[in-house]
Structure 1
Amino acid sequence: MIVIPDKDSRCLEIERLIAAGRGVCESCREIGISEKTFYRWRKQRDGELSS
Structure 2
Amino acid sequence: MRAELIESPASREFLSLLPLTLAMTAYSSREKYGPMPALSRDNMTGIKAGL
TM-score in terms of structure 1 length? 0.29
Higher RCO structure, 1 or 2 (CA under 8 Å, sep 6+): 1
Larger Cα-atom Rg? 2
Structure with greater helix percent: 1
